[in-house]
Amino acid sequence: MSVSRFLLCLSLLAPGSGFAQGFAGLGTEADGFAIPKPSYRLQFPADHGAHPDFRIEWWYLTANLEDENGESYGIQWTLFRSALAPGEAEGWQSPQIWMGHAGLTSPTEHFSAERLARGGIGQAGVTLGPFAAWIDDWQMTGAEDLSRLDLSASGDVFSYALKAQAESPLILQGDHGYSVKSPEGQASYYYSQPNYRMEGTLTLPSGPVTVHGNGWLDREWSSQPLSENQSGWDWFSLRFDSGDKLMGFVLRGANGADDFRSGTWISATGEVTPLAPGAFQATPLGQAEVAGRTVPVRWKVQLPEREVSVIVESLNPQSWMDVAFAYWEGPVTVSGSHRGTGYLEMTGYE
Amino acid sequence: MTSVALLALLSHWRQHRFQLGALIVGLALATALWMAVQAINAEAKASYAKAEGFVQQLDQQNLVSANNTLTVADYVALKRSGWPLSPVLEGRLKVGGQWVDLIGLDLLTSPQIPAMSAPGAQAAEGELLISLLRPPGGLIMHPQTAAELSVSELGLTIHLSDTVPPGSGIGDISVVSRLLAKPDSLSRLIYLAQDPPDRNALEQLPNYIRFTSAQNAAIEPSALTESFHLNLTAFGFLSFVVGLFIVQGTIGLAMEQRRGLFRTLRCLGLPFRHLVVALVIEIAIIALVSGLIGLIIGYFLAVSLLPGVAATLSGLYGAEIENTLSLRPQWVVSGLAMTLLGAAIASSYGFFSLWHLPILQAPSTQARGQQVLRNFNGWALLGAGLLALGGLSLIFLGGLSGGFVFLGCIMLGSALLLPFCLWHILRAGQRLTRHPLGHWLWADARAQLPGLSLALMALMLALATNIGVGTMVSSFRLTFTGWLDQRLASELYVTARDDSQGAALEHWLEEKGLRVLPIRSQVLQQPMGQITIYGVRDDPTYRNNWPMLEVLPDAWDLLAKGKGILISEQLARRRNINLGETLPLPQGWPNTVLGIYSDYGNPHGQAIVSMPQLLRNAPEAENQRFGLRLDPDDIPTLIKEMREEFDLDRESVTDQDKIKEASKQIFDQTFRVTDSLKLLTLGVASFAMFTSLATLWSQRLPQLGPVWAIGVSRQTLAQFDILRSLVMAGLTALLALPLGLVLSWALLVVINTEAFGWRLPIHLFPLDWLWLIGLSLLAALLAAALPAWRLFRLHPSTLLKVFSSER
């Protein structure tokens, strides 16, 4: 099934596919979907669950891992929800569509897999008490407050099973979890757990590997995440050896519009500071040919107010998620004023 | 040089326009019938290929439930344990009085279907998908289906695609499950991975779920319909051969008449090779022109026959084909090639004699008799050999192919034997006659036999085919009608909207003191094809009327006690099961075969158990259809009351007569195409006879001249000619009769049993034979009329010239 065009239409994908806004009658208007409000205060554990009245939502976990020999790996476990119409209905009549993406990256290899399912029949979903997010046989289960997670996923030639233990509280992105995504005011609800200690097993074609490392969970939901004048997105989650963390994104302007840049500084002690619009800077330094397109896989990232000036380089430039709606997502290494690791996601490179 | 020779040769046709006409018509007719059949076959096969391609994509490997009780929960559980599956929900829906097969797919997980990949814009594809998924959703249908159904009733967006098999609609499972009101059940699960599941995975399946792959799937439409197309091809080929007989005669005549010309050309110094080249070009031109005319006729013939073929296929096999004909290169090319080949074969004898033509010597016709007899003996020997071969094929080859080889051998063998038989009959007639003129008449008939034998063979084949196919269809109709009377014993049939209305209706009817016979069934998917199992109440209606072929003495008692099962003839034959043996069924079903009943026209297997047994094994079987026993006089009142009480629409209540009428209509529609083909072959055969007689006419002048000279008037000679023609046709028709009967036996007992799975009793229809014999005599009369008329009007000088002219 060629779902790609359909997904394009739904404009559901990763934080940043602004392409299809207004396409297929879906419109940039919310079409009866709920819209994020600045005044809303997130409530847990309820907000760990699904929000079927919003058009799109995701549970997005990435991790930088290392085996006993010091070899680096990265994994991605993502569950997307996209609604054809607001609300939920029983059985096949459910308008909720779920999509799972799993990625596994080593310096020389990258694997990706994808699952699709409909809500309403139990094939995919998110429940609370205890927390469980699943699609087919992939799952992310654990404590209701997300402090502890077990996750697993598999593709044709790879699989992984990992445990995650949170080492600090959740942090709210933007203004108490209300994250603005464009000058016109498009926004989403957005919170993260940037500090998971990870351990478990990766199964590669060459055999199983025991790994440990650090994970980062993003939770986000919205109904109209991007403006019409945005063509794609470069998203960085960087974990410095100092213990500080930086989440920053560039929503690339299209049709002559300016880029929209924003982010959050998370100090080693857990203090969260939203960055002023434009404070976060990311400049491509080197490109790679990936799946027939040119994608920037080497970046200069600067945050002058924190004296950050680093080179962000992909572990494997070919970290292409070859799924219905393809994008680049993979682990990165950080060098320069700060050293560390992180994850980079880039969408909208045609 | 060659071109001058060609022009000289072609000038012949200017003088003999009728001959040219006969040649072209003969070739065109032969080609037309052949092409029509090819076109129909090609169209039908393309339809199957499309349907099978469609099915195959969705049907390679599946998980199915042995008793058809697959649920959405089963699917989710399997998905969550990692099985790569996509669910399918299939069912029939009545839309505005017509049934449509719905196929519901989970468009998020199903394999790509052709109808979804809109040509060109990808955006269109996305839009299509959205429109199918988003409430209220949509369906994709073949344009023909959408035109036939009142689709607006569905309240859905209908998308058209000719990649969808006619008679079905494809949509997202959310839409189809809503339309079918089956939110929880599934028909099967497509297995999506390339490699079959390993043993471990299979062992973990619940015991009621089985893995099936395309290799052991049910019989495919093409396997079933193969025999039908073979039948059509045989018909087409027969017509083609008959057409060639016409052409052979005409070309022979043209060669004969141009001997003088050939001699002159050769004497003028035209090399033999050039003469042959010129003749080949001439024949090729004529063949191509005739072929193109035949192509056009064939196209229109196919267009007019196709609906009948479509009806036949859907009636007999449940295979749907498209009702429109497209010009396919394969049958155009094959048709034209056949015309050229046919012309080459038909003219080969002409070339052969040309090769033997002594330049300066006039041909002699006197010694022909001896030569001809030797030929006939050789043919007869070959014919007898073929008859023997046919018999052997039936014994040793067996099956459908054995049946067809038998048919072919018997037909061809008998045709080859015909001249031999006629020759001896005519000679016997000659011996019995004392009168000199009578004596001459018989002898003259024998002398004509070589020229007429091909046409008479054609006539015999056409007559035999008519008798054979006619007997088959009429026997089938008679049996079918009788069977309908037995099968439709209830006076009234009612269909409720749903199970709850069904229950209410049943209660209401029983309170009125009526005998209610619920018609409930369950479809079982079996490795060798599906079986529909019906449950019946213990009621005299079944005991007295059900059309049993073989039955144990106390079958109905045992059935009522739940101790066995009745199965249809097709099922018994397909599984090779006899009375008292067991039918392999899932655990719990009674499986001892108590009786075998006839179930004509059903491509699938069917069986009957007692109602309690059905409900024990399939408690969810629909309870919506009922047969009612009541006094026919009470029917109108009851219908009125029922409609008022339950708000049933007109189509929900049907009386026995209406169903019978509809069934008979379907039956007649089914065999309409055979009727057309029968008449067409007979027409072509008559035309062959006509051209043969017309050809003989000029050759016979040297023989008629002396008879006329000794005082027999032209009028008498003309009458003799007609009489002779009638005698020949009559004799041929009589000889065709036994052949036709053998043919009908082979069709009914061998071919039918193999192809359809049911054997039919042979009924004889002597009146039809009389009619056919009359028809062939009429054809002979018409064929002889023109030559006789020409003889009658012949100027005496022409007859006198016989004595002076040296041909």
Q: Does B112 contact A at CB distance below 8 Å?
A: yes
Domain termination residue (choose one: B574, B606, B629): B629
Q: Please state, in angstroms and as integers, the Cα–Cα distance from residue B618 to each residue in B497, B524, B593, B614, following that order.
A: 20, 10, 20, 6
Give the model's pLDDT for residue A328: 92
| Region B35-46 average pLDDT | 75
pLDDT of A243 strictly over 70: yes
Contact B73 A122 (CB under 8 A): yes
Which residue carries 């045992």 as its tokens?
B558
Which residue carries 């042959």 as its tokens?
B276
Which of A133-142, B94-103, B414-423 is predicted least confidently? B94-103
Q: Chain B partners of A9 at a C-beta cutoff of 8 Å?
A: 126-127, 129-130
A161, two tokens: 């099973």
Do B11 and B37 belong to one domain?
Answer: yes
Is residue B779 very low, low, confident or very high in pLDDT (cuts 50, 70, 90)? confident
Give the model's pLDDT for residue B323: 61
Task: Calculate what percentage of chain A has a pLDDT beyond 70.
Answer: 89
Domain that holds residue B50: 1-59+226-362
| Region B134-152 average pLDDT | 83
Q: Under 8 Å CB-to-CB from A143, ≥6 apart: which residues?
A: A130, A131, A149
Angle at B53 between CA B108 and CA B159, to 5 degrees: 55
Q: Does B150 contact A at CB distance below 8 Å?
A: no
**Selected residue with higher pLDDT from B246 and B118:** B246
**Selected residue with higher pLDDT from B386 and B275:** B386
Give the model's pLDDT for residue A219: 94
Contact B135 A95 (CB under 8 A): yes
| Region B420-445 average pLDDT | 88
Nearest by Cα to B201 from B297, B345, B83, B115? B83
Contact B108 A5 (CB under 8 A): no
Q: Chain B partners of A13 at a C-beta cutoff of 8 Å?
A: none
Question: Does residue B30 lie within any of the structural domains?
Answer: yes
Is residue B115 very low, low, confident or very high in pLDDT (cuts 50, 70, 90)? low
Is residue B230 very low, low, confident or very high in pLDDT (cuts 50, 70, 90)? low
Give the model's pLDDT for residue A216: 94
Contact B112 A1 (CB under 8 A): yes
Q: Does B181 contact A at CB distance below 8 Å?
A: no
Q: Does B171 contact A at CB distance below 8 Å?
A: no
| Minimum-distance CB partner of A118 among B108, B129, B178 | B108
| Region A294-317 average pLDDT | 94
Q: Please state, in angstroms and as integers, the Cα–Cα distance from residue B786 to each residue in B18, B446, B690, B695, B722, following that order.
A: 12, 21, 9, 12, 10
Contact A91 B75 (CB under 8 A): no
pLDDT of B713 strictly over 80: yes
Distance from the B46 Cα atom to the nearest Cα atom in chain A, whole angstroms: 24
Residue-wise pLDDT for A112-147, tens only, equals: 999 999 899 999 999 998 999 999 999 999 999 999
**Selected residue with higher pLDDT from A107 and B403:** A107
| Minimum-distance CB partner of A1 among B73, B108, B127 | B108
Strand partners, B646: none
Domain termination residue (choose one: B629, B648, B681): B629
Task: Calculate what percentage of chain B has a pLDDT beyond 90.
Answer: 6
pLDDT of B279 strictly over 70: yes
**Rama region for B342: left / alpha / beta (φ>0; ψ in -120 to 50; rest):** alpha
Contact A118 B174 (CB under 8 A): yes
Q: What does the alpha-carbon distance between residue B117 and residue B119 come to, in Å, rounded to a whole number? A: 6
Question: Does residue B330 lie within any of the structural domains?
Answer: yes
Helix, coil or strand: residue B33: helix
Q: What does the alpha-carbon distance between residue B124 and residue B126 come to, in Å, rounded to a whole number? A: 5
Contact B135 A84 (CB under 8 A): yes
| Minimum-distance CB partner of A6 among B126, B177, B183 | B126
Distance from the B115 Cα atom to the nearest Cα atom in chain A, whole angstroms: 11
**Residue ranges of the alpha helices (H) in B494-634?**
499-511, 540-545, 555-560, 569-575, 611-617
Most confident of A326-335, B634-643, B777-786: A326-335
Contact B135 A5 (CB under 8 A): no
Residue of chain A whose Cα is closest to the Cα of B130: A6
**Selected residue with higher pLDDT from B530 and A339:** A339
Contact B108 A154 (CB under 8 A): no
Is residue B124 very low, low, confident or very high in pLDDT (cuts 50, 70, 90)? low
Mutation choice for A interface testing from B57, B85, B108 by most A CBs within 10 A: B108
Q: What does the alpha-carbon distance between residue A301 and residue B733 come to, in Å, rounded to a whole number? A: 100
> How many CB atoms are located within 10 Å of the residue B304 CB?
13
> How many CB atoms are located within 10 Å of the residue B205 CB?
16
Distance from the A40 Cα atom to the nearest Cα atom in chain B, whole angstroms: 30
Mutation choice for A interface testing from B129, B131, B132, B175 by most A CBs within 10 A: B129
Do B526 and B569 belong to one domain?
Answer: yes
Residue-wise pLDDT for B7-25, tens only, equals: 888 888 887 787 788 788 8
Do B668 and B620 belong to one domain?
Answer: no
**Is B365 in contact with B256 (CB distance < 8 Å)?**
no
Most confident of A195-199, B288-292, B301-305: A195-199
Q: Does B106 contact A at CB distance below 8 Å?
A: yes
Q: What does the alpha-carbon distance between residue B539 and residue A199 come to, in Å, rounded to a whole number? A: 71
Contact A122 B76 (CB under 8 A): yes
| Region B332-348 average pLDDT | 80
Contact A91 B133 (CB under 8 A): no
Give the model's pLDDT for residue A26: 31
Do B244 and B122 belong to one domain?
Answer: no
Is residue B131 very low, low, confident or very high in pLDDT (cuts 50, 70, 90)? confident
Contact B82 A3 (CB under 8 A): no
Give the model's pLDDT for residue A74: 95
Which of A68-77, B307-316, B604-613 is predicted least confidently? B307-316
H/E segment holding residue B605: strand B605-610
Q: Does B81 contact A at CB distance below 8 Å?
A: yes
Most confident of A18-32, B164-178, B314-328, B362-376: B164-178
Q: What are the CB-based long-range contacts (under 8 Å, 24+) for B543-547? A: B544/B489, B545/B486, B545/B487, B545/B489, B546/B486, B546/B487, B546/B597, B547/B482, B547/B483, B547/B486, B547/B487, B547/B597, B547/B598
Do B680 and B728 belong to one domain?
Answer: yes
For chain A, give the mean pLDDT.
Answer: 86
H/E segment holding residue B306: helix B272-317
Give the model's pLDDT for residue B638: 84
Give the model's pLDDT for residue A342: 95
B658, two tokens: 């209406």
pLDDT of A211 strictly over 90: yes
Which of A13-22, A65-74, A242-251, B215-224 is predicted least confidently? A13-22
Residue-wise pLDDT for B474-519, tens only, equals: 887 788 777 777 777 788 888 887 788 888 888 888 888 888 888 8
| Region B231-249 average pLDDT | 66
Contact A134 B108 (CB under 8 A): no
CB pairs < 8 Å spanning A and B: 89
| Region B565-582 average pLDDT | 86
Kindly provide the ipTM of the predicted complex, given to two decimals. Answer: 0.89
Give the model's pLDDT for residue A27: 35
pLDDT of B602 strictly over 80: no
pLDDT of B91 strictly over 80: yes
Do B342 and B270 belong to one domain?
Answer: yes
Mutation choice for A interface testing from B57, B79, B113, B173 by most A CBs within 10 A: B79
Q: What does the alpha-carbon distance between residue B651 and residue B501 come to, in Å, rounded to a whole number? A: 16
| Region B546-550 average pLDDT | 84
Q: Chain B partners of A123 at a C-beta cutoff of 8 Å?
A: 75-76, 79-80
Distance from the B175 Cα atom to the nearest Cα atom in chain A, whole angstroms: 8
> How many CB atoms are located within 10 Å of the residue A277 CB?
12
Question: Does residue B86 lie within any of the structural domains?
Answer: yes
Q: Does B110 contact A at CB distance below 8 Å?
A: yes
Do B668 and B798 belong to one domain?
Answer: yes
| Region B124-128 average pLDDT | 71
Q: Please state, in angstroms and as integers, the Cα–Cα distance from residue A290 to each residue in A19, A293, A326, B656, B677, following that order.
A: 20, 5, 11, 71, 64
Going by DSSP bridges, is the β-strand pair B168-172/B98-105 parallel, antiparallel, or unpaired?
parallel
Most confident of A250-259, B44-53, B578-587, B652-661: B578-587
Domain termination residue (choose one: B149, B174, B207): B207
Cis peptide bond prior to B632, omega within 30° of 0: no
Do B578 and B680 belong to one domain?
Answer: no
Question: Does residue B111 lie within any of the structural domains?
Answer: yes
Question: Does residue B253 lie within any of the structural domains?
Answer: yes
Give the model's pLDDT for residue B405: 83
Contact B123 A134 (CB under 8 A): no
pLDDT of A24 strictly over 50: no
Contact B174 A23 (CB under 8 A): no
Give the model's pLDDT for residue B367: 42
Nearest by Cα to A202 from A159, A140, A155, A165? A159
SS (H, E, C) B391-405: HHHHHHHCHHHHHHH
Residue-wise pLDDT for B716-770, tens only, equals: 888 888 888 898 889 999 999 999 899 888 888 887 777 667 777 788 888 888 9
Give the model's pLDDT for residue B120: 47
Contact B126 A9 (CB under 8 A): yes
Contact B72 A92 (CB under 8 A): yes
Contact A24 B126 (CB under 8 A): yes
Question: Does residue B797 lie within any of the structural domains?
Answer: yes
Q: Quick one: how many helices (H) and strands (E) in chain B?
A: 26, 17
Do B675 and B549 belong to one domain?
Answer: no
Do B265 and B315 belong to one domain?
Answer: yes
Q: Which amino acid is at A120?
A: G
Is residue A14 very low, low, confident or very high in pLDDT (cuts 50, 70, 90)? very low
Domains of chain A (ranges; CATH) run 4-347 (2.40.370.10)
Q: Quick one: how many helices (H) and strands (E) in chain A?
A: 1, 23
Do B619 and B677 belong to one domain?
Answer: no
Residue of chain B whose Cα is closest to the Cα of A98: B108
Distance from the B232 Cα atom to the nearest Cα atom in chain A, whole angstroms: 39
Task: Calculate what percentage of chain B has a pLDDT beyond 70.
Answer: 82
Question: Does residue B612 lie within any of the structural domains?
Answer: yes
Q: What does the alpha-carbon distance between residue B752 and residue B433 come to, in Å, rounded to a whole number? A: 47
Question: Does residue B159 lie within any of the structural domains?
Answer: yes
| Region A99-105 average pLDDT | 94
Q: Does B657 contact A at CB distance below 8 Å?
A: no
Strand partners, A201: A161, A210
For chain B, give the mean pLDDT.
Answer: 79
Q: What does the alpha-carbon distance between residue B176 and residue B95 come to, in Å, rounded to a whole number? A: 13
Nearest by Cα to A342 from A69, A74, A42? A74
Distance from the A116 Cα atom to the nearest Cα atom in chain B, whole angstroms: 6
Q: Chain B partners of A25 at a C-beta cutoff of 8 Å?
A: 130
Residue of chain A whose Cα is closest to the Cα of B134: A84
Contact A123 B79 (CB under 8 A): yes
Helix, coil or strand: residue B36: helix
pLDDT of A315 strictly over 90: yes
Do B667 and B748 belong to one domain?
Answer: yes
Q: Please state, in angstroms and as integers, the Cα–Cα distance from residue B363 to each residue in B9, B16, B353, B374, B506, following that order.
A: 20, 21, 10, 19, 89
Give the model's pLDDT for residue B792: 84
Nearest by Cα to B64 from B216, B208, B214? B208
Give the model's pLDDT for residue B314: 64
pLDDT of A52 strictly over 80: yes
| Contacts with A, B 398-427, CB within 8 Å | none
Distance from the B79 Cα atom to the nearest Cα atom in chain A, whole angstroms: 5
Residue of chain A whose Cα is closest to the Cα of B173: A92
DSSP state of B746: I
Mutation choice for B interface testing from A2, A3, A5, A33 by most B CBs within 10 A: A5
Is residue A21 very low, low, confident or very high in pLDDT (cuts 50, 70, 90)? very low
Angle at B768 between CA B763 and CA B769, to 5 degrees: 95
**Is A194 in contact with A62 (CB distance < 8 Å)?**
no
Structurally, chain B folds into a number of domains equal to 4
Q: Chain A partners of B177 at a C-beta cutoff of 8 Å?
A: 91-92
